[in-house]
Amino acid sequence: MNIYIYTIRRLLYVIPVLLGVCFIIFFLFNVVSPDPARMMLDKHATVKQIAEMRHELGLDRPFFMQYLDVVKSAFTFNFGRSWSTRQEISEMIMDGAIPSLSLSFPAFFLATLISICISLFVSFFRGKVIDRLAVIFCVGMMSVSSLAYILFGQWFLAYHMGLFEISGYEFGFPFFIPYVILPIIIWIILSIGPDVRFYRTVILDEIYQDYVRTARAKGLSEIVILFKHVLKNAMIPIITYVVIRIPFLILGALLLESFFSIPGLGGITLDAVKSSDFPVLKAMTVLSSIAYITFSVITDVLYTVVDPRVRLK
């Protein structure tokens, strides 16, 4: 099947999936959750005040109309206004996307590149001291709480040593760079442990395949086998692992943005949780769902690019 036809078909399949996701989001926020009107008003509010607030928020309309609002927002990206700030949610998302992406995408790219390089290196020395030390080191890094890295980085590297900015953010390139360097370093440190363990396992699974023994029998060097054959065949699980994680970058790094006072989408989401701002929470949930579905399609298409043995159906 032609890759373009396959892509169009997969995009058409997205529509019913998205409708189902919108229904789940609507059910969680509009049916199961507590009454937002009661949460926003004082506990001594009268029935009339609650009814007026429900009417103002549009919660007294039929459920089907409220569900259509969720579906409409998923296709038009018009999420209405925030209940707490009265600001357009689309504008809030646009304002928060730049700080979040300036942190998350460089950190994610560098963490992925460094982890794959380390995994290839330790796989080359598989079974030796370097390999075992790398595994122990990764498990040790994963065992330390992310809060420990953040607090140590802010106290020792930023405050005591004065190497980085402790917190804050300044819009515009290159003014934001000093404020995101330390969070990026911490992101990379937090990612290396689980990423190296995953990539190492995938690469080692390929190393012990029959085609690798055949390549050795033909006299190919370990370097050629590792980079030309093993890495290429290991790309499907690596692509799955990498691409599926990209949608979650939209929400930013909640913990890092909070501790470093970066006004990104993570901070917006946390503020919405604290204030029970359901429209903002629904908007972030819808965006994350759309991104996840979209990148799932991209992942399927990329499979055929890196491995011709995969057939589109």
Assess whether 140 and 270 both reside in one domain: yes
Please calculate the CA angle 165-87-50 and round it to the nearest 5 degrees: 125
Residue 158 placed within a domain: yes
Assess whether 177 and 242 both reside in one domain: yes
* Banded pLDDT at 42 (limits 50, 70, 90): low
pLDDT for residue 55 = 79
Assess whether 102 and 60 both reside in one domain: no
Percentages of the chain per state (helix, strand, coil), in multiples of 5: 75, 0, 25
pLDDT for residue 182 = 92
Instruction: Give me the number of domains the chain comprises.
Output: 2
> What is the arithmetic mean of pLDDT over 238-265?
80
Assess whether 16 and 150 both reside in one domain: no
Total residue count of the chain as it appears in this document: 313
Assess whether 36 and 114 both reside in one domain: no
Domain that holds residue 199: 98-276
> What is the arithmetic mean of pLDDT over 2-27?
82
Assess whether 164 and 231 both reside in one domain: yes
pLDDT (tens digit per residue) in 205-229: 888 888 888 888 888 888 888 888 8
- The packing angle between helices 63-76 and 3-26, to 10°, is 140
Indicate which CATH number applies to the domain containing 168: 1.10.3720
Q: Judge contact between 297 and 14, C-beta under 8 A.
A: yes
In the predicted structure, residue 312 carries a pLDDT above the cut 70: no
Q: What is the mean pLDDT of the chain?
A: 83
Q: 43, 76, 109 — which closes off a domain?
A: 76
pLDDT (tens digit per residue) in 124-167: 888 888 888 988 988 888 888 888 888 888 888 888 888 888 88
Assess whether 153 and 251 both reside in one domain: yes
Residue 286 placed within a domain: no
Q: In whole angstroms, what separates CA 262 from the centre of its chain?
A: 17
Assess whether 117 and 244 both reside in one domain: yes
**Which pTM does this prediction carry?**
0.80
Assess whether 151 and 205 both reside in one domain: yes
Residue 303 placed within a domain: no
Assess whether 46 and 106 both reside in one domain: no
